[in-house]
Amino acid sequence: MLEPFKQFICDTCAGIIEKPEVGWVEWLCYYDEQKGKLINKNFRICHHETRCMILADHHHVSDNHLNNMLKDNSMVIQLYGMLDPEPNVNPQQSKGVKVEDIGETVEFLRRLTLPYYEEARQYWSEEIADGYISEANEISPYFPHNLKSIIERYSR
């Protein structure tokens, strides 16, 4: 079983990122002329290797080492700021949500904040097809003990 918040699954090669020091976070951040603000999207976790860093040459890339992004919850804090204006921003000057897709951003937050989610999410479609836990209610699949039992049931 992966060690929560230390080991991740690479979004490119699907291999295990054994420790934060060999991981990378990348996403796109661009200025949207119509909305008049910066927009973030395509959040990814991958190996810090050229073959896995697929956004590295993109002219809108934002990126950093996974261990830097995990330290002090720095990526989580950035994501919160993208979803909702910081409390110290004057509401009149706030430009609102700075992500393209709230669902995608919350999914990325789940990977960074819910223990065992990173590993269990691989089995999500099988779990839903079986109705193993997700039938109970909307939040029960996200509890750590349920995520762990999804991993135990579906990993082979």
Residue 44 binds Zn ion (CB under 5 A): no
Q: Are 62 and 24 in contact (CB under 8 A)?
A: no
Binding residue for Zn ion, selected from 25, 52, 66, 79, defined by CB under 5 A: 52
Residue 45 binds Zn ion (CB under 5 A): no
Binding residue for Zn ion, selected from 13, 89, 128, 136, defined by CB under 5 A: 13
* Cα atoms in the Cβ-side hemisphere of radius 13 Å centred on 7: 10
Binding residue for Zn ion, selected from 20, 23, 45, 47, defined by CB under 5 A: 47
Contacts of 141 (CB under 8 A, 6+ apart): 127, 133, 134, 147, 150
Q: What whole-number distance in Å separates Cα of residue 107 and Cα of residue 121?
A: 10
Name the burial class of residue 150, with classes exposed (0-12), middle (13-18) and buried (19+) by CB atoms within 10 angstroms of its CB: buried
Least distance to Zn ion from the beta carbon of 142, Å?
A: 26
Residue 48 binds Zn ion (CB under 5 A): no
Residue 66 binds Zn ion (CB under 5 A): no
Q: Are 97 and 82 in contact (CB under 8 A)?
A: yes
Residue 10 binds Zn ion (CB under 5 A): yes
Name beta bridge partners: 9. Answer: 16
Among residue numbers 118 through 137, which ones bind Zn ion (CB under 5 A)?
none
Number of residues counted as binding Zn ion (CB under 5 A): 6
Binding residue for Zn ion, selected from 7, 12, 62, 64, defined by CB under 5 A: 12
Residues that bind Zn ion (CB under 5 A): 10, 12-13, 15, 47, 52
